Structure 1
Amino acid sequence: MPAETPATSASAPTPSTGDYYLRNIVAAPVYRVANHTPLEAMPVLGTRLGNTILAKREDLQPVHSFKIRGAFNRMAQLSEDERAAGVVAASAGNHAQGVALSGTELGIRTIIVMPRITPAIKISAVEGFGGEVLLHGDNFDEAKARAQQLAEEEGMTWVPPFDDPAVIAGQGTIGLEILQDNPGVDRVFVPVGGGGIAAGIGVLIKEINPSIQVIGVEPEESACLTAALEAGGPTDLPRVSLFAEGVAVKTIGSETFRLCRDYLDAVITVSSDEISAAMKDIFDDTRAIAEPAGAVSLAGLKRYAAQHNVRGETLVHILSGANVNFHTLRYVSERAELGEGSEAIFGVTIPESKGAFLKFSTVLGHRAVTEFNYRVGNRAGQDAAKIFVGVQLKQGRKERAAIENDLRAAGYGVVDLSDDEIAKEHVRYMVGGQPPARVNESVFAFEFPEQPGALQRFLQILGTRWNVTAFHYRSFGMDYGRILAAFEGVQGDREFQGHVTELGYPVSEVTHSPSYEFFLANS
């Protein structure tokens, strides 16, 4: 076990011993509003992986996420004067609903500051639980700053989403329930965002039974704990992906970092495709529809079990929430097969001649084709066609490699695009869009908030001074959108770079993406 540091005084807000957390987790009065959620077996996935897989169903809480536990435990400890003054929080998601419902149960006024871009469905949910919503700012940081300003000006109590001992202890009750329901578990996989649930479960389980492994799981593009472990302390990520919004945190908390560092056995990262595949696994086995953050720990369980050849064990993952935008499922459905390794996508060059399609299909044999995009060459004298093809797999990467080898052996030019994000997000919808003449273009991928005027602002800042030679945007019903745009003659243009900076959207240049070069660039 990790060595304990001296405990602080009883009135101090930052206790540090495992004993302190153990006592406070056991004593947490969360069941006034929270449910003791079941450990539900996932037999289909368990059979496939050769383990007993159990889902801790935190999506069955009244607010459809675990956040109610920490919020209520923090607010239940307020003094009479603090209750009378009310509480304030900043959140656009599950924490907001937890604070609102806790306030209604305890008779405490709650103000939730949310960014102006927050979808109406989330605002309505918070108001439905009794919270007062104040819309402020264009992002979470601006909303948080306003909430903390309100707390100072109005004498209200700020309720943080994760970096607070009482919040951590409230989330730790999940670990207590796991041990009560199945003390023989071998490993527990926990999602990591700000670190509250991972810290609470980790300290509870390790203090009671150190032989059980507790493993943290983060999305690759918002791995704030991994960054903190490498840096030796909490550090800011330059940007985070919002796909798994519930764990999209730039900086892990100080106390949650300390506990995660001391009590977790390992931390692993997973891709958005793996998270999508885990959402499908959860639906197939339980008929529950998890939000992306709610499936993060199962994605990590699957990756860890495969990497370490884990067999015959009892593995628990936390289905931490189910507050998902329905239209997000369109994106998830497209990506789940890739995340599971049961689909591959290729760019293939075939002759522009009669019978070429039939000959190509015979090379694939009896494999099922999941997608086929093709457009005849758009320049005179062109004697080859480039196709975008998806193929169903039964043996994962091994079969991917075999298909690529078979195609090359048949004389086709081929590139495996299964791991190319630009291919999966944009190029698959743009096949056949090569310019008729050579264009000196640079290609960029932008991420922007889904709010009225965001796309117009993009075009106003970047679409008037420079020639836009390619453009793709598709809405997936999320809180953010993604644009692929090509501009002519901007390489080394400082004015262009200045306008990109003014725009303020996360951006990366992808001119040398394999899928862009294969399908869209001048030959």
Structure 2
Amino acid sequence: MNEAKQATDAPLLSGADYLRDILRAPVYEVAQITPLQPMQRLAERIGNQVQLKREDRQPVHSFKLRGAYTMMAQLSQAQRQAGVIAASAGNHAQGLALSGRQLGVSTVIVMPRTTPDIKVDAVRSFGGNVVLHGSNFDEAKAHAENLAAKHGYTFIPPFDHPAVIAGQGTIGIELLQQNGHLDYVFVPVGGGGLAAGVSVLLKQLMPDIKVIGVEAEDSACLRAALDAGEPVTLDQVGMFADGVAVKRIGTETFRLCQQYLDDVITVSSDAICAAVKDIFEDTRAIAEPSGALSLAGLKKYAEAHQLKDQQLAAILSGANLNFHGLRYVSERCELGEKREGLLAVTVPERPGAFLDFCHILGGRAVTEFNYRYNDDTLANVFVGVRLMQGQEELESIIADLRQGGYPVVDLSDDEMAKVHVRYMIGGRPSKPLQERLYSFEFPEYPGALLKFLTTLGTRWNISLFNYRNHGADYGRVLCGFELEEHDLLSFTSHLRELGYHWKDETDNPAYKFFLAQ
């Protein structure tokens, strides 16, 4: 039987019960007490003391070891002999594998076939038996549950179990021991195990400390649950911060987060990238996106609430990053810090027009400039500008350009422009097309692109195609199709059959500026 399901059937634990279980958790048989490290550069910039809880320093480079070991240590001798199983694409898998090696328990971890080799190899290096199955986490989890029923394995859930929550809550003890004068603690939220454990501990011992949950905007399952009053399942989740890409928060974790968290905020992918950069500049550590999530929330919350001279702590929850993912981080961190603006500017094709345009920009550094001749009257230019004063400066530049007679559109928050269009400037069709534009996300496994082209590319002509992958386990495609109005119903039906996440981008302003007829 699924252990998470057993937990929901058992009597609910009180805050005092959790406090007892956290204090008794045997995590230090395998885990480390991680440092609480000052971030001096960031502190000076935002006017508050900032400290980072370095869970990336654990043997598995993530906090997940604490919860996995705590639950496994409580298993009966019969359960240990039968072995345990879990579904995971990363950090929980590594924590489970190392816990199994420490306790002498056989571990089976079902991972999606799309999981990068670096994560699969890490699990195997800790002694885990990896089974690759399915193209996503849900398929892997279903297979793990089937194997558990077939072989008598105990299923170890990644977050929704009291023992797992108690193990994660030991971070709260260390925070108080390392700095008993904290005003705010920011905790990343995926399934909610870490946020539940830390908040229930802190609120039992130091209720004046504000505990703030931080979610990625595109996987905010706790925010959705709070709005609905109960856990709900999101239709889609973004995979950039894959460590928190959870469609549905746990039942028990939701109960605790709802009761003990003081607030929950969401942050963008660009803000997470900026936090990764902040961590590197202050500590020389490279966090995975979900590992930098709580720091991104700290910065946003401090600015929104005008916090000054407060003691703030964020949890660097993990550093199991696919190295090639840093390409995306480096491209987007300046945007996340409001240190760069992206603009589409219409420039007249006349002598001196570009010179006048550059005069308006003044001495500002241009980070990107894309132009291609369009016609005899107008040209559309894609330009990036370095900003020293954030959004206020960007708005001033836009006002100056418009006053100078240059129509301009701000693309700084346009996801399609940032991911695709900036690499495609100048590609306009040479003949009129009935074109519609769609963006897609699909898993990176052999045959995924072939499936895409087989399903969509034989009946309708593909008029535009751009593929971007930043080292993630999913691909991002921008695709144009020649579609008559009467084809739309049939085409949409094929999109649903395809099963990939998609979005109609035909009305996107970046497309109209640079790619459309």
Answer whether contact 1:490 1:496 (CA < 8 A) is retained.
Answer: no
Displacement of 1:502? 1.3
Q: 2:284 aligns with which of 263, 283, 287?
A: 287
Question: Is 1:508 the counterpart of 2:503 in the alignment?
Answer: yes
Q: 2:406 aligns with which of 398, 408, 412?
A: 412
Displacement of 1:356? 2.5
What is residue 336 of structure 1 aligned with on the other side?
333
**3-state SS of 2:142 partner:** helix
| CA 1:389–1:188: 2 relative to 1, 3 Å | same
What is residue 146 of structure 2 aligned with on the other side?
149
Distance in 2, matches of 1:510 and 1:205, equals: 45
Q: 1:475 aligns with which of 464, 469, 473?
A: 469
**3-state SS of 1:92 partner:** coil
Distance in 2, matches of 1:10 and 1:71, equals: 15
What is residue 206 of structure 1 aligned with on the other side?
203
- The code of the aligned residue for 1:406 comes to D
| CA 1:276–1:355: 2 relative to 1, 3 Å | same
1:233-269 Cα deviation digits (max 9, x unpaired): 0000000000000000000000000000000000000
- The code of the aligned residue for 1:517 comes to K
Q: 1:440 aligns with which of 427, 434, 437?
A: 434
Question: Is 1:373 the counterpart of 2:370 in the alignment?
Answer: yes
Answer whether contact 1:172 1:200 (CA < 8 A) is retained.
Answer: yes
**3-state SS of 2:323 partner:** coil
Answer whether contact 2:462 2:480 (CA < 8 A) is retained.
Answer: yes
Answer whether contact 2:8 2:252 (CA < 8 A) is retained.
Answer: no
Please identify, of 490-499 and 239-248, the stretch whose mean Cα deviation from structure 2 is larger.
490-499
Question: Is 1:464 the counterpart of 2:458 in the alignment?
Answer: yes
| CA 1:327–1:490: 2 relative to 1, 3 Å | farther
What is residue 499 of structure 1 aligned with on the other side?
494
What is residue 399 of structure 1 aligned with on the other side?
393
What is residue 273 of structure 1 aligned with on the other side?
270
1:118-145 Cα deviation digits (max 9, x unpaired): 2221111101000001111121111111
- The code of the aligned residue for 2:495 comes to V
TM-score normalised according to structure 2 size: 0.97
1:88-131 Cα deviation digits (max 9, x unpaired): 00001000000000000000000001112222211111010000
**3-state SS of 2:431 partner:** coil
- The code of the aligned residue for 1:190 comes to V
Q: 1:298 aligns with which of 270, 295, 299?
A: 295
Answer whether contact 1:169 1:200 (CA < 8 A) is retained.
Answer: yes
Distance in 2, matches of 1:78 and 1:396, equals: 53
What is residue 58 of structure 1 aligned with on the other side?
55
Displacement of 1:459? 1.3
Give the alignment of 1:308-347 within 5 angstroms. 308-347=305-344
Displacement of 1:10? 12
Distance in 2, matches of 1:491 and 1:127, equals: 52
What is residue 21 of structure 1 aligned with on the other side?
18
| CA 1:57–1:491: 2 relative to 1, 3 Å | farther
- The code of the aligned residue for 1:514 comes to P
| CA 1:520–1:170: 2 relative to 1, 3 Å | same
Give the alignment of 1:160-199 within 5 angstroms. 160-199=157-196
Q: 1:218 aligns with which of 191, 215, 219?
A: 215
Distance in 2, matches of 1:484 and 1:258, equals: 40
Distance in 1, matches of 2:93 and 2:329, equals: 25
Q: 2:44 aligns with which of 21, 24, 47?
A: 47
Q: Which structure 1 segments of 5+ residues have no match?
A: 1-8
Distance in 2, matches of 1:13 and 1:394, equals: 55
| CA 1:447–1:431: 2 relative to 1, 3 Å | same
**3-state SS of 1:327 partner:** helix
Answer whether contact 2:341 2:394 (CA < 8 A) is retained.
Answer: yes
Displacement of 1:216? 0.2
RMSD: 1.4
Moved over 4 A (4+): 9-14
Displacement of 1:486? 1.1
Q: 1:358 aligns with which of 352, 355, 358?
A: 355
Question: Is 1:454 the counterpart of 2:448 in the alignment?
Answer: yes
Distance in 2, matches of 1:13 and 1:342, equals: 51
What is residue 514 of structure 2 aligned with on the other side?
519
TM-score normalised according to structure 1 size: 0.96
Displacement of 1:454? 1.3
Distance in 1, matches of 2:327 and 2:447, equals: 24
What is residue 6 of structure 1 aligned with on the other side?
none
What is residue 3 of structure 2 aligned with on the other side?
none
The number of residues matched between the two structures is 511
Q: Which structure 2 segments of 5+ residues have no match?
A: 1-5
Q: 2:422 aligns with which of 425, 428, 445?
A: 428
Displacement of 1:438? 2.5
- The code of the aligned residue for 1:504 comes to G
Distance in 2, matches of 1:279 and 1:10, equals: 35
